[in-house]
C-alpha cells in the first residue's frame, strides 16, 4: 500500500480524500493555490505545498508543479479527485513516467472513454444498447444530411471530445442542420481543441441514470447500483438519488451486468460511472463513461456501505476487489442536494465572499461533505459548490423528509446559497412521486416565474 498520497484538488473532495487516507494510515500532501491558503484541506493534510496563484490554470491545472511537488514530498501516488486533472490523459501519463501512481484507471482507459465515439462503439461491441445515431464522426454537411435521413428528427449533435453537455446542439430539420453542425464544430474546437462531432436521435425528456462500477487489476469487476441524476440545470446536477424511482430490481441487475461486461471488455481498472438515458417507454441507452470519482458518489456509499474513495486507493495500490457481486446489497434510500454559493433569485449568479457564520446540520442519517466553516472566504475562481447534503433512511419518503428538515437547519450567512431552492424541489408533488426527468428543472423554473408574476 502507498505510504504517502498527494491530493491534486481542493474543497470538499480534497477533504474527502484526506479522510480516506487517514483511515487507511496513509500520509497526505495537500496542494493549494494562494486563494486557498486558509482552506481546511491545507489544515487537515500532513503537509501542504502552495502551487501558484488563484486561477486554476496557474495552480490546480499546473501538471509540472503538481508532479514535481509529488516528487519533492516523496509521494507514491496522486489522487486527482474530480474536475481539474481527473480525466486528463497527459497528466496520467506524466504520473506514470515519473513512477507516481495515478489513482484512477489506466491512461488507455481514460483515452478510450474520452473519445465519446470510440466509447460508444466499444460498448456496442460489448452488447450495450446505444441511442440510434451516426456510425462514427460527421465531418461534412453531406455526411450530416445523409445521417439525418437515417436517424430522423429531432436529433442532437455532440462533440467527440465532449461530455457533460458542452458543445451540444439540438436540431429539428434539414434546414437548420448545416448551421447547427458548423456551430457545434466551432464550439467543440474552442472548448476541446477538437471539432469532431457525432449525431444521435434526440430523446425527449429522458431520465439521466448512471451506474457505479469498480474493477481491480485481476479481471474482477462489480456494479454498485444506479444514481438518478435527472435534476439538472445547464448540465449541472442539483439533486441526485439512489435507488432511482424509475429502476426496478430486474432492470438494475440487467444494466449492472451489462456495465460489468462493458468494463471487462476494455480491461477497465478502478472506479467509474456509466451514463445512460432512460426514455419514457422504459428503454435504456448507454451514452458515455466517466473515468473519475464523481461528485455524487456519497449516495452510493450510503446505500452499499462501501467507501468508494478508500476502494479507489486500494485498487490503485494493487489490491483485489474485497467483495464479490453477490456480497453487495442495497439498503434504503439516499438523496444528495448540492449546495452552491449562488443566488437562485438572481439567475443563479455566483455569490462568493466571506461566510460570517454557518451551521452544518447533523443527526441520524445525515451526512454533509463540505469545506466551509464560519469565517471561511469563498474564492471567486472555482466551482460554486460549497457543500453536499446527503440524507439516508429506510425508504425514499423518509430520506426526503429528512432532507427537508436538514436543509432547514443548514445556515450560511451572508452568502446566498441554493439550499432553500433545493428544498422547493424536494417538496414538489411531482418530485415527491418520483415523476421527473431531465426537463423537470427548466419547467419548474418557468412555473416559479409565473407564480412570482401572479
Ligand atoms: C441527450 C439528450 C437527449 N437525447 N442525448 C445532457 C448531458 C450530456 N451528458 C448529454 N445530455 C443529453 N443528451 C440524446 N440523444 C438529452 C440530454 C440532456 C439535455 C440536452 C439538452 C438540454 C438540456 C439537457 C438536460 C439533460 C439532458
**What is the per-residue pLDDT across 234-245, written as a single tens digit (0 to 9) for each?**
999 999 999 999
Q: 170-223 pLDDT, tens per residue?
A: 999 999 999 999 999 999 999 999 999 999 999 999 999 999 999 999 999 999
Q: Which atom of ligand 1 is nearest to the CA of 275?
A: 9
- Predicted confidence (pLDDT) at residue 366 exceeds the cutoff of 90: yes
Say what percent of the chain tops pLDDT 70. Answer: 100
Nearest C-alpha to atom 26 of ligand 1 is from which residue? 438
Q: Name, in order, each residue with C-beta under 8 angstroms of 204's C-beta and a sequence gap of 6 or more.
A: 154, 280, 439
Nearest C-alpha to atom 11 of ligand 1 is from which residue? 165
How confident is the model at residue 165, as a pLDDT? 76
Q: Which atom of ligand 1 is nearest to the CA of 163?
A: 9
> What cell was used for 197?
462531432
Q: Are 66 and 85 in contact (CB under 8 A)?
A: yes
Q: What is the mean pLDDT of residues 122-137?
A: 96
Q: Are 89 and 110 in contact (CB under 8 A)?
A: yes
How confident is the model at residue 386, as a pLDDT? 98
- Predicted confidence (pLDDT) at residue 22 exceeds the cutoff of 90: yes
Cell 480491461 appears where?
267
Q: Are 360 and 388 in contact (CB under 8 A)?
A: no
User: Which residues are bridge partners to 358 per DSSP?
Assistant: 412
- Predicted confidence (pLDDT) at residue 428 exceeds the cutoff of 90: yes
Cell 442539483 appears where?
238
Separation of alpha carbons 300 and 182, rounded Å: 40
**Weakest-pLDDT range from 51-65, 161-175, 359-373:** 161-175
Q: What is the mean pLDDT of residues 145-167?
A: 92
Q: How confident is the model at residue 166 (pLDDT cuts 50, 70, 90)?
A: confident
What's this model's pTM, rounded to 2 decimal places? Answer: 0.98
Q: Where are the domains of the chain?
A: 4-103, 132-201, 207-453
Pocket test for ligand 1, best of 170, 208, 210, 294 (most atoms within 8 A of CB): 208
Pocket test for ligand 1, best of 159, 229, 287, 443 (most atoms within 8 A of CB): 287
Q: 432-451 pLDDT, tens per residue?
A: 999 999 999 999 999 999 98
Q: Kindly give the distance from the C-alpha atom of residue 165 to the centroid of ligand 1, in angstroms, as a whole number.
A: 7
Separation of alpha carbons 318 and 389, rounded Å: 32
Q: Kindly give the distance from the C-alpha atom of residue 17 to the centroid of ligand 1, in angstroms, as a whole number.
A: 30
Q: What is the mean pLDDT of residues 79-90?
A: 98
Q: Kindly give the distance from the C-alpha atom of residue 5 to the centroid of ligand 1, in angstroms, as a whole number.
A: 36
* Cis peptide preceding 259, ω within 30 of 0: no
Separation of alpha carbons 351 and 422, rounded Å: 16
- Predicted confidence (pLDDT) at residue 163 exceeds the cutoff of 80: no
Q: Which atom of ligand 1 is nearest to the CA of 200?
A: 15
Nearest C-alpha to atom 15 of ligand 1 is from which residue? 202
292 is catalytic: yes
How confident is the model at residue 175, as a pLDDT? 94
Cα angle vertex 323, ends 219, 252, to 5°?
A: 85
How confident is the model at residue 45, as a pLDDT? 98
How confident is the model at residue 413, as a pLDDT? 98
- Predicted confidence (pLDDT) at residue 167 exceeds the cutoff of 90: no
Q: 389-404 pLDDT, tens per residue?
A: 999 999 999 999 999 9
CATH architecture under which domain 132-201 falls: 2-Layer Sandwich (3.30)
| Ligand 1 lining (C-beta closer than 6 Å) | 131, 156, 164-165, 168, 200-203, 206, 208, 232, 235, 277, 438
Q: Which atom of ligand 1 is nearest to the CA of 439?
A: 25
Pocket test for ligand 1, best of 166, 172, 206 (most atoms within 8 A of CB): 206
User: Could you say which of 207, 269, 292, 367 is catalytic?
Assistant: 292
How confident is the model at residue 454, as a pLDDT? 80
Q: Kindly give the distance from the C-alpha atom of residue 137 to the centroid of ligand 1, in angstroms, as a whole number.
A: 18
Average pLDDT along the chain: 97
CATH tag for 4-103 (out of 3.90.700.10, 3.40.50.20, 3.40.250.10, 3.40.50.300): 3.40.50.20
Q: Which CATH class is domain 207-453?
A: alpha beta
Q: 313-357 pLDDT, tens per residue?
A: 999 999 999 999 999 999 999 999 999 999 999 999 999 999 999
Amino acid at each position: 500500500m502507498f505510504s504517502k498520497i498527494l491530493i491534486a484538488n481542493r474543497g470538499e473532495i480534497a477533504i474527502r480524500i484526506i479522510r480516506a487516507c487517514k483511515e487507511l494510515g496513509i500520509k497526505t500532501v495537500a496542494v493549494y493555490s494562494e486563494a486557498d491558503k486558509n482552506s481546511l484541506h491545507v489544515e487537515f493534510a500532513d503537509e501542504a505545498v502552495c502551487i501558484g496563484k488563484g486561477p486554476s490554470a496557474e495552480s490546480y491545472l499546473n501538471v509540472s508543479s503538481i508532479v514535481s511537488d509529488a516528487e519533492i514530498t516523496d509521494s507514491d501516488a496522486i489522487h486527482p479527485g474530480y474536475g481539474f486533472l481527473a480525466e486528463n490523459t497527459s497528466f496520467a501519463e506524466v504520473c506514470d513516467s515519473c513512477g507516481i501512481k495515478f489513482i484512477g484507471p489506466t491512461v488507455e482507459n481514460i483515452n478510450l472513454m474520452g473519445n465519446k465515439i470510440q466509447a460508444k462503439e466499444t460498448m456496442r461491441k460489448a452488447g450495450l444498447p446505444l441511442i440510434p445515431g451516426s456510425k462514427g464522426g460527421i465531418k461534412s454537411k453531406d455526411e450530416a444530411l445523409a445521417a439525418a435521413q437515417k436517424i430522423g428528427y429531432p436529433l442532437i449533435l455532440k462533440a467527440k471530445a465532449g461530455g457533460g453537455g458542452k458543445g451540444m446542439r439540438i436540431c429539428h430539420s434539414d434546414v437548420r442542420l448545416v448551421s447547427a453542425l458548423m456551430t457545434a464544430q466551432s464550439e467543440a474546437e474552442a472548448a476541446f481543441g477538437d471539432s469532431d462531432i457525432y449525431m444521435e436521435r434526440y430523446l425527449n425528456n429522458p431520465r439521466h441514470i448512471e451506474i457505479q462500477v469498480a474493477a481491480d487489476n485481476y479481471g474482477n469487476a462489480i456494479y454498485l447500483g444506479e444514481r438518478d441524476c435527472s435534476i439538472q440545470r445547464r448540465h449541472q446536477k442539483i439533486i441526485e438519488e439512489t435507488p432511482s424511482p424509475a429502476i426496478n430490481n430486474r432492470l438494475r441487475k440487467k444494466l449492472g451486468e451489462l456495465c460489468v461486461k462493458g468494463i471487462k471488455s476494455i480491461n477497465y481498472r478502478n472506479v467509474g460511472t456509466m451514463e445512460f438515458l432512460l426514455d419514457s417507454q422504459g428503454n435504456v441507452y448507454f451514452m458515455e463513461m466517466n473515468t473519475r470519482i464523481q461528485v455524487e458518489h456519497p449516495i452510493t456509499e450510503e446505500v452499499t456501505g462501501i467507501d468508494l474513495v478508500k476502494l479507489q486507493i486500494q485498487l490503485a495500490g494493487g489490491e483485489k476487489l474485497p467483495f464479490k457481486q453477490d456480497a453487495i446489497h442495497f439498503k434504503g434510500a439516499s438523496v444528495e442536494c448540492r449546495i452552491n454559493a449562488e443566488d437562485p433569485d438572481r439567475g443563479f449568479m455566483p455569490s462568493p465572499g466571506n461566510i460570517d457564520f454557518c451551521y452544518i446540520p447533523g443527526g441520524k442519517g445525515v451526512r454533509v461533505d463540505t469545506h466551509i466553516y464560519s469565517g471561511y472566504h469563498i474564492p471567486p475562481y472555482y466551482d460554486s459548490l460549497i457543500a453536499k447534503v446527503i440524507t439516508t433512511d429506510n425508504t425514499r419518503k423518509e430520506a426526503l423528509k429528512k432532507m427537508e428538515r436538514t436543509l432547514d437547519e443548514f445556515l450560511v450567512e451572508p452568502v446566498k446559497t441554493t439550499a432553500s431552492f433545493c428544498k422547493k424541489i424536494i417538496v414538489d408533488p411531482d418530485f415527491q412521486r418520483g415523476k421527473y426527468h431531465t426537463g423537470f428543472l427548466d419547467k419548474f423554473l418557468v412555473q416559479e416565474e409565473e407564480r412570482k408574476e401572479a
